[in-house]
Amino acid sequence: MTRKQLLAQPRDIALKTYAGFFAFGFGSGLSPFAPGTFGTLASIPLYLILIQLSWPMYAWLVFIAFVVGVKLCDVTGGRLGVHDYGGIVWDEFVGFWITMFLIPFSWQNVVIGFFVFRFFDIIKPYPIGWLDKKVSGGFGVMIDDVLAGVYAMLVMLLVAKYIPNYF
């Protein structure tokens, strides 16, 4: 029996391979319902570490997380035999971190950012939905959540600009 046959189950891949462990968001993507939501929630503790950094370091680490995530998602999707398996949630981690980039920390902002990001990730307005359907591989898994994060960040920044004393 080959390694691929031994690791055919998502749970095995998520818990017994390095790529799967990260791609499944440290296991959060194994949730039987709403794995993307649980993946986004699981990204918050790492966000709390990221916000301690300067904004250039934050941006650099999120970029690295994106590049590494392309490979993690590609490898894990290949092992699963499914391009964008629902339990692969590293893309939600990166998307949420992008949402919160340059947003001053408060728990109110974390909650609002969470819901705004999930909105764009679920609704997938153009070109997010198009990219989700047309771009394959690890890059395809990651890019729609990156754009959802950018849309959500822009909404957060617009709210801050037009609603006095928001932040």
Q: pLDDT digits over 117-137, tens only?
A: 999 999 999 999 999 889 999
| Average pLDDT of the segment spanning 86-101 | 98
Q: 119-149: buried (b, 16+ CB within 10 Å) or exposed (e) per residue?
A: ebbeebeeebeebbeebebbbbbbbbbbbbb
Cβ(87)–Cβ(34) below 8 Å: no
Q: Please tell me the predicted confidence (pLDDT) of residue 98.
A: 98
3 state DSSP class of 106: coil
Q: Is 167 domain-assigned? A: no
Q: Kindly report, residue by residue over 2-52, the tens digit of the pLDDT.
A: 545 445 699 999 999 999 999 999 999 999 999 999 999 999 999 999 999
On whether residue 151 sits in a domain, the answer given is yes
Domain presence at residue 44: yes
Tell me the average pLDDT across 84-100: 97
Is 36 domain-assigned?
yes
What total of structural domains would you count in the chain? 1
**The pLDDT value given to residue 161:** 82
- Domain of 7 in residue numbering reads as 3-162
Q: pTM value?
A: 0.92
- Residues 41-80 pLDDT 10s: 999 999 999 999 999 999 999 999 999 999 999 999 999 9
